[in-house]
A and B are shown apart, each in its own frame.
Chain A
Amino acid sequence: MSDTQIAREVDRSHMQVSDEIAIQITSMNKWFGSFHVLRDINLTVMRGERIVVCGPSGSGKSTLIRCINRLEEHQSGRIIVDGTELTSDLKNIDKVRSEVGMVFQHFNLFPHLTILENLTLAPIWVRKVPKREAEETAMYFLDKVKIPEQALKYPGQLSGGQQQRVAIARSLCMKPRIMLFDEPTSALDPEMIKEVLDTMIGLAEEGMTMICVTHEMGFAQAVANRVIFMDQGQIVEQNEPYEFFNNPKSERTKLFLSQILGH
């Protein structure tokens, strides 16, 4: 199917999709200058859904998920995250951001802080959690991503895969209800991709609402309950993974799939 092997059987017992809406995007448009980068996006994400977004580069998939925590501003339409609408109101933006975790392609750990400080910073300063409690939570999540022994090192001393797992743990320390992944494995060596994907699968198994921009089609097959294909700033096709990969409807999707899976 693809070059990613998912090593273990994915446990689907907690992967239920509830009928509660987590994210609702209606007729959203965004421009970069005069370039119409997102065109009439409509997307509803239910709590517990695991969505994989794929598409050629420049198709707007990263911009789409960056709009969900307002790293990018949309110019028309509505985005409602967890019942809070994203407008220019800074209070709402900070509220949404503290509920939505984000993992970046280049990890973006804070290089001047230790791993433990990276993890406790936002809980202490945004959530006002006492330091000791924040550290306990941090160690719990470091344990979960299987690198508790690195807690006192600095990000520059870790491998790429370890850094990305720390970045995931850092987001989890804020106890987010939604996680966004922006090409989390694209900057990693093949040997490290698996350890990061395993962490993400673990998260999915616990029922986290996730939107992942990724080209790891093995991951999409194993975990996603919906795959979205974007091109030229629009959602071209979406379907459940088996149908999407084996029976794509649009010509553009077929071409894309043949290019990424055909080699």
Chain B
Amino acid sequence: MSDTHSETVAYVRETMLPQATPPASEVGAIKWLRENLFSGVLNTILTLVGIAAVVWLVQAALPWFLHGVWNANSLPECRQIIAETWGEGAHGACWAVIRERWNQFLFGFYPSDLYWRPVLALALFFAAVAPVLFTELPRKLLWGSAFYPAVAYILLWGGSLWVPISVMAGFGVGWLGLVAARRTNLPLLGPLAAVLLPLIWWLFLAGPVAGMLEDIIPLGVEEVRSDKFGGFVLSLTIGIAAIVLSLPLGIVLALGRRSDMLLVKALSVGFIEFIRGVPLITLLFTASLLLNYFLPPGTNFDIILRVIIMVTLFAAAYIAEVIRGGLAALPRGQYEAADSLGLDYWKAMQLIVLPQALKISIPGIVSTFIGLFKDTTLVIFVGLLDPLKGITDAVRAAIEWKGVYWEPFIFVGAIFFVFNFGMSRYSMYLENKLKRDHR
């Protein structure tokens, strides 16, 4: 009865149709080409223009790369070798400058016999973030990550081991204060002790205690001052520290901006709008010049530390806004469901709201991180040797490399690209892993 005209008479289907395979024109390479490259007159033209542009670019740039010279002692020597090998008028890259000066691009003026220290610090950094980034790893490894900042400090700057130890001890002091305050029955005393005691420790006690311990048991490694830092050691130090510090600060600011408490909200909004409204370079100048006027005379506040603080504040304001977007995208019902189950504000934020809001914000947060990392090259304006301009200028100041432009920029750009592309890939991995709708 299946051939009955279903439109004209009453109809009942008796057999359900099975799935059929699609016709040949709907699968395969021909279909892909037609759909993606030649689906119309305009698209065909665009495809051809695109191919032409790629061919032209490769044609123009490829010889320059192929003619590249690695073994030479100066730019004129490079040019001579290229002219001899490829004929007069041929262009070629002079990679010899990278071979000769790669250590300055990577380490600045860090003492060469101590190169292993920043390298080890970077390797340990990857070991320390691994348990944070990949939840499959055992959670106990996070304890190791907690001590990484002290290890990194001693590796990068050296000096007395007692300095980072006494700084880390501040956290222990705060914890002891919290435990002691729990014994009493005053609810506000705990958080107050946890914040105030470490501050007192850091401001007044940490320094003398470290000095005293150093007098009793001298323990330390060779010190490297901040003005020796340069190139990627500098960029990575500032970039990683600011990335790690700005995320928690950004979360706090985003929650503050959505708070019902007027003062908290006003402070958060004021901070975010002020920082976002001012160029980063202004903040860096403030860090390098003005902070010295405000701090008591004789305070020696390390310039890299000051820059890290300013870059952190700058990135935190942007991250706060990105996370605010994530918070706003959560349906009201999520907050209500958490409330109706009796979860208090902090538990609702920690367990329900932030995991979802942060997931939504991942692309924005990683974009901010990438921007932050690239912005570390702006420290050139406060006299630090960033890899892009500071070091390149220093290299070009040598008579034999005068006139080298493209090669250092390509080299530095490629290293930035590796780090940033890595961050971008990780964010895509994370987004995929956290996908919950269709599995």
Chain A residues with CB under 8 Å of chain B are 69, 71, 90, 94-95, 97-98, 100-102, 104, 106, 108-112, 121-122, 125-126, 154-157, 170-171, 174
Contact = CB atoms under 8 A, between A and B. Distances in A.
A97 B345 CA distance: 13
A98 B439 contact: no
Contact of A126 (B334, B343, B352, B436): B343
Contact of A110 (B340, B344, B352): B352
Contact of B333 (A97, A104, A121, A122): A104
Across the A-B interface, give the 4 residue pairs with the lowest CB-CB distance, nearest first.
A98-B342, A108-B337, A108-B333, A122-B341
B62 interface: no
Contact of A104 (B336, B351, B352): B336
Given A97-B341, A106-B333, A154 B436 contact: yes
Nearest to B348: A125
Nearest to B438: A156
Contacts of B356: 110-112
A156 B339 CA distance: 21
Interface in B309-348: 331, 333-334, 336-337, 339-344, 347
Interface string B352-372: 100110010000000000000
B3 interface: no
Interface in B116-161: none
A171 B356 CA distance: 21
Given A110-B352, A111-B356, A111-B437, A125 B343 contact: yes
A97 B340 contact: yes
Contact of A94 (B342, B436, B438): B342
Interface in B221-257: none
B341 A174 contact: yes
**Interface-centre pick from B331, B340, B434, B437 (highest chain A CB count, 10 A):** B340
A121 to B, nearest CB: 6
A95 B344 CA distance: 11
**Interface-centre pick from B331, B341, B359, B434 (highest chain A CB count, 10 A):** B341
B355 A125 contact: no
A109 B439 CA distance: 17
Given A126-B341, A154-B439, A157-B438, 8 more contacts: A104-B333, A104-B336, A111-B356, A111-B436, A121-B341, A122-B342, A155-B436, A170-B341
Contacts of A98: 341-342
